[in-house]
Structure 1
């Protein structure tokens, strides 16, 4: 799946309780959102939080403190847009502030 990351965002992740820099997905974002919604309509419905709507993104930095992330110049990440291709999906579990990969599934070609 072709994707384009064409914007950045600095956000607080309430699940991990960390500050993150995201590259936000433009092209391909609709397909990623549809896949996300399909996953949550099935086995993971209980985990869905309507108070934190999904936005397709790639996390490029994580910080514990807001003071640290405020010092970052997001333009250091490189010139936008960033073009790429997604080749698979990881299902992760968040427990005690830590992400653990439960399953990795390559996309069919």
Structure 2
């Protein structure tokens, strides 16, 4: 860690931005609605979505849970991808760029 980097700024790996998807749709039986989120960043091991702390969906999302999701590609001509993804973490944004929001980390599985 260099002298200008704080503990929260360190990562175990560098972020690799993979421009495949722009958003994801999440739905569960308990939801009254489906929730559509813009994907915020990617790494080799996952991606994050930004969710308001007071959103009803937060009480239904749990770390380790695997959900069926719909991934929307950047290119509109590409098909929507249906895949499972695991919730890896639900955490506050360490840098505070999005007050009142939580970062939900997703680990997308290969499509079946």
TM-score, with length taken from structure 2: 0.25
Query: Which protein, 1 or 2, shows the higher relative CO under an 8 Å CA cutoff with sep ≥ 6?
Result: 1
Task: Looking at secondary structure, tell me which structure has more helix per residue.
Answer: 1
TM-score, with length taken from structure 1: 0.25
